[in-house]
Amino acid sequence: MFSSLRSNIIRSSLRTNTINTRFNAIRFISAETRAAIDEAVKSAPVVLFMKGTPDAPACGFSRATIQLLGQQGVDPSKFAAYNVLEDPELRQGVKEYSEWPTIPQLYVNGEFVGGCDIITNMSHSGELAELLDDANALVEE
């Protein structure tokens, strides 16, 4: 009986800590970081928060996302990339800002689109090309 009670207390405690951690994580994004991310998201029609740079991605998901954007024909003058590895506050802040736990994160016209898996699926379905075209973010032919 004690072990069953102990297990329930531990499970309850873990659940509470998870909820508190999520709640506190949202609270901890500073106004300064939020303002910087707002500015970054609006800095170009297509914005990518990634690990590494477009020329030297530091993870496979960031590399795949950059490749997909290149295949779609995103105009470099309408694109901005931010390396989250350069700033731990940005790395955590962007996750809290979007309420999305992974990086890379793509924004188009200031709206969060998704991470690598979503971008890949959108590319295969044609939705990514349509979204980027509607945003006038593609190289003109």
Give pTM, 2 decimals: 0.80
Please tell me the least confidently modeled range out of 28-32, 84-88, 110-114.
28-32
C-alpha dihedral sign at 124, 130, 136, 141: positive
Q: What's residue 19's pLDDT?
A: 41
The confidence band for 114, taking pLDDT boundaries of 50, 70 and 90, is very high
Task: Map out the domains of the chain with their CATH numbers.
Answer: 32-134 (3.40.30.10)
Average pLDDT over residues 111-127: 97
Beta bridge partners of 50: 83
d(CA 68, CA 62): 10
